Amino acid sequence: MISPTKFLTYFSRVMWVLLFLGMFMFARKNDDLVALHLFPGLTWEAPLVLVLLAAFALGALLGVLACLSRWVRQHREILRLKRELRAKGPEAQAKS
């Protein structure tokens, strides 16, 4: 009998292989050139897969940038709370 941990490891690897094969087949089938008209007089021609990859990467980057301010604010608050806890002394640290 396979342990649940090993089963999940094998299952995860199989899913990654299937995802890679699916993406590879998609890329092979969609290698036609597309033209993006960005600004008047500026056109970019690239394979469809590259355009989709660039759009995905740009969306991921914008998502990370949108979360960055909240992450920095939370990080500063954690540091402030740690300083307060250290300033209160060992009796406060023993309670937490």
pTM above 0.75, yes or no: no
Left (φ > 0), alpha (ψ -120 to 50) or beta: where does 55 sit? alpha
Residue 81 covered by a domain: yes
Backbone torsions φ then ψ of 5, nearest 5 degrees? -65, -45
Residue 96 covered by a domain: yes
Q: Which residue in the block uniquely carries the two structure tokens 């999940």? A: 8
pLDDT (tens digit per residue) in 15-73? 999 999 998 898 888 888 999 898 888 998 999 888 888 999 999 999 999 999 999 99
At residue 78, does pLDDT exceed 90? yes
Domains of the chain: total: 1
Helix (H, G, I), strand (E, B) or coil at 30: coil
Query: How far apart (Å, rounded) are the C-alpha atoms in residues 89 and 91?
Result: 6
**Domain carrying residue 69:** 48-96
Cα atoms in the Cβ-side hemisphere of radius 13 Å centred on 94: 3
Q: Which residue in the block uniquely carries the two structure tokens 């250290």? A: 86
Helix (H) or strand (E) holding 43: strand 42-47
